[in-house]
Amino acid sequence: MRIAGPALCSLALVMTAAPALADKTVSSLDQVRGAIKTQDAKKLYDGEMSGAKQPDGLGRMLPAGFTTGFLVSQLAPGQDPQRLVVAGAKPWPARANGFVAMVCLARTAQDAKQAARYGGGDCRDASNDGSDAKDVWFGVFDASAGGTPTLVARTEAPVVTPTDWRDTDIDLPQALDDGDAKSAAHAAPETWTRFDLAPYEITKGDFAFGVRAGWSEGYAGGGAEFEALYLFRIEGRALRVVFAQPMSFLKMIAGDWHKDGTRSHDVSDASNSLVLLSSKTEGMRDLQLRQQKGKWRRTFTWSAERHRYE
């Protein structure tokens, strides 16, 4: 959903350690999707739990003029291209002839081969202790029709900014909820899933772009998915994270078995939307997270000192 003015952008988001927005018990697994209340949580289910084929969210089918080797050399100069797990690029509608791009590198070339063989080639940390964490760079290119892409800005190092889980209406992953909610090691995303290219015009003519990131956890007979939104802004030749907040979650926990072989499931989900307000701080539009189908709100203002929303 894209609305001008105080723009309401379709963003699943979650804030505050409160009970789940929606809780329902269904009598069988095939009823789970129908019990999910928010559209963004349905996307989590479709993407991670249903097994359905998903859109090319990171732009792995590279546009003309882009190659995997070119992206590694431009976004992660000096790094071994054999470490590459995922490379992607997509047109950025908010910028004429603009493209957003990313590369995801494993720790070693052998780890990259393992990720391709057993991990489906996703940009995902498949470990429980961070030992399989990937290094991820993002960038912006200009590429007029038929021209060679030119790098405009890139992250100066792999992105390590943690998601801020301190004040959210989204349930926390267990690794955070077990008493270490401020740990950057766990608050950093396990996976990077898709570009979010809604028109985030944070000041006149100055657009940020979004990337969705996530966490997964499995239970005996169930599981949970969590999603965050990262906003990136161009500052000179640098591309910086200016916003990193949890956006949505979906949790299903298996319950009692029935005589017909089906099993009850408890389903919980919540999602937020990101609104660009007309009010400004330090010349930048204020942002507000709003709970979908609920009353929770949180406003973020620009910090000129820290170059990000807080």
Instruction: Tell me which of 133 and 47 has the higher pLDDT.
Output: 133
For residues 291 and 287, give the distance between their C-alpha atoms in angstroms, rounded to a whole number.
13
Q: Provide the pLDDT for residue 9.
A: 38
Instruction: Tell me which of 213 and 126 has the higher pLDDT.
Output: 213
Lowest mean pLDDT across 71-75, 81-85, 246-250, 251-255: 251-255
Q: Provide the pLDDT for residue 36.
A: 80
User: CA 307: distance to chain centroid?
Assistant: 20
Number of domains composing the chain: 1
Residue 249, in any domain of the structure? yes
Lowest mean pLDDT across 102-111, 174-183, 237-246: 174-183
| H or E element, residue 42 | helix 39-44
Residue 1, in any domain of the structure? no
Report the length, in residues, of the chain.
310
Tokens 């772009």 belong to 209
Q: Which range marks the domain in which residue 90 is found?
A: 7-309
Residue 2, in any domain of the structure? no
Residue 175, in any domain of the structure? yes
For residues 273 and 76, give the distance between their C-alpha atoms in angstroms, rounded to a whole number.
32
Q: Provide the pLDDT for residue 178.
A: 64
Predicted TM-score (pTM) of the model is: 0.87
- Whole-angstrom CA distances from 106 to 78, 87, 113, 140, 305 are 14, 12, 9, 22, 33
- Indicate whether 28 pLDDT > 60: yes
Q: Is the dihedral of CA 165, 302, 211, 103 positive or negative?
A: negative
Which residue stretches of 119-179 are H helix? 174-177
